[in-house]
Every structure is written in structure tokens, then in C-alpha cells.
Amino acid sequence: MSKASPPANVKINPAPPRRTLWPVLLIGSGALLLVGATWWARSANETGDLGLTFANQGQEHIAVGADHGDYNSFPATSGWHDREPQPWGRFAYTVEPERLIHNLEHGGVVIQYNPALVQGAETRLENVQRRFPNKTVVAPNAALKVPVAVTAWRRLYTLDGVDETRIVAFVERYKNRAPERFPD
């Protein structure tokens, strides 16, 4: 039996070529990776009017007094810390960094001051702490080389004195920007 030919007035179009999406997906993924890597690299040492950003040293809980590596900032902004955070509030004594880092991990902000470098800081910093009672810790730290240091997760802002406006701006910008967020 022979094949019948289609009528002369009927045109047969071949199937359109199949297009694969893998080149588009590959180029798109590469572009997204490049943008993400650029953002990450720039934020690792980000500077600005509200301090410096430091690399994340993790969230490892350690036993009280346990040895650990050096922190990459002073005061510390991430890394090894006690299982229990410091209660929120103002304290008249220096608080161990391992306790304060846990507060930072919970989205808190720690305000430390050197009593020898700034006079009358307690009342003004207590005003800031009262404004954010469930997100801030205020404590002296005689080891500071600057009058005031404000920290959030991976972030450090140093000041030459107590500037409530700038400290409040830092707290508002960086509170709750941490691995674990707790309600205010």
C-alpha cells in the first residue's frame, strides 16, 4: 500500500523547535548569586553613621566560664554566649560579654559606657533604657577606650559622649534584627 500524499493545497508545518530553559535559569541564578555575594561582601565591613558591621561568629551556647575563641569586636557583637541572657535593665556593674551576647541574639541592644570617660551618663542612659525596657541593657564597662559603645547583633556604634538622639536612632534601627526575635 502506498502512502497517500496530502492534497496540494494543504501545507504541513514541522513542529516548532523545543526551547530549553536551562540557559535562562543558569544565567538568572548566576546573576542572583553575584548580587547576593556583592551585598554580603559589602555588609561584612559596612560603615556609616550608625557604626560598623562585623562578621557573624555564630550563636553557640557555652557553659558559664567556658573557654572560647576571641571575639572579632570589642564589645562583642556575636559569638559564644551563656545559655541565659542578662535581664533587661540598667546595671551598676560590668556584665560579662557572654551574657550580653545572648541579649543581642534575642534582638536586643546593649549600651555600655566607661564611667571614667563620661560623667553623668547613668541618668541619661537610663532614660533610653526606660524607652525600650524589654530590648536594652545599660551597664558600665571600664575597659572601653571610648565613652559609649552601643551594640546590636553584628553591629557596633561608638560615641564620644551620651547622645540620646543617636542612641535611640540606633536602637530603633537595629533592635529585632537578630537570629532570634522576641516581642518588645
DSSP 164: H
Residue 35 pLDDT level (bands cut at 50, 70, 90): low
Q: Going along 7-154, which residue ranges are E strands?
A: 52-53, 61-62, 81-82, 89-90, 109-113, 136-140, 148-152
Q: State percent of the chain over pLDDT 70.
A: 79
Q: Are 140 and 93 in contact (CB under 8 A)?
A: yes
Q: What pLDDT is attached to residue 29?
A: 74
Helices (H) and strands (E) in the chain, counts: 4, 8
Give the three cell numbers for residue 36.
547576593
- Angle, CA 179 vertex, CA 177 and CA 181 arms, to 5°: 65
pTM: 0.75
Query: Closest by alpha carbon to 73, among 46, 53, 58?
Result: 53
Q: How far apart are CA 82 and CA 183, in angstroms?
A: 21
Residue 15 pLDDT level (bands cut at 50, 70, 90): low
The CATH code for residues 52-174 is: 3.40.30
Q: What is the pLDDT of residues 38-79, one digit of tens each?
A: 544 444 444 456 999 999 999 999 999 999 999 999 999 999
Q: How far apart are CA 79 and CA 85, in angstroms?
A: 13
Q: How far is CA 19 from CA 13, 15, 23, 24, 172, in A?
A: 17, 12, 10, 10, 50
Q: How far is CA 38 from CA 42, 43, 50, 105, in A?
A: 6, 9, 21, 25
Q: Are 145 and 184 in contact (CB under 8 A)?
A: no
